Amino acid sequence: MRASEWRLSCPLHDEAAAAIRSIQTARPLERGFRDPLTGVVVRRLFVHHGKTFSNYYLFDAGLALACHAAGLVNIDGRPTARSVGR
């Protein structure tokens, strides 16, 4: 399966799909981005002032903050004693 096919057929949990739909309807219509693989103009979900958020910002930084807030890692990013063996 090619990357473009995966993006089109990636299954979502019903709650995630509902959240995405509510974000899409609340946002004003803005210019789309041309998909580099298909050439189709698409609307991206995570855009601010015409720029897409990086993978680092969306996944790495957010996941680190969530793990820290949940007490799963310490300030250095190492597992805490209560997260080991879960």
Radius of gyration of the chain (CA): 17
Summarised one tens digit per residue, pLDDT across range 58-85 is: 878 888 888 888 888 877 777 776 655 5
Q: How far apart are CA 46 and CA 55, in angstroms?
A: 10
The pTM score is 0.47
pLDDT at 17: 86
- Average confidence (pLDDT) over 2-26: 75
Q: How far apart are CA 39 and CA 71, in angstroms?
A: 43
- Average confidence (pLDDT) over 38-56: 85
Q: For residue 9, give the amino acid letter.
A: S
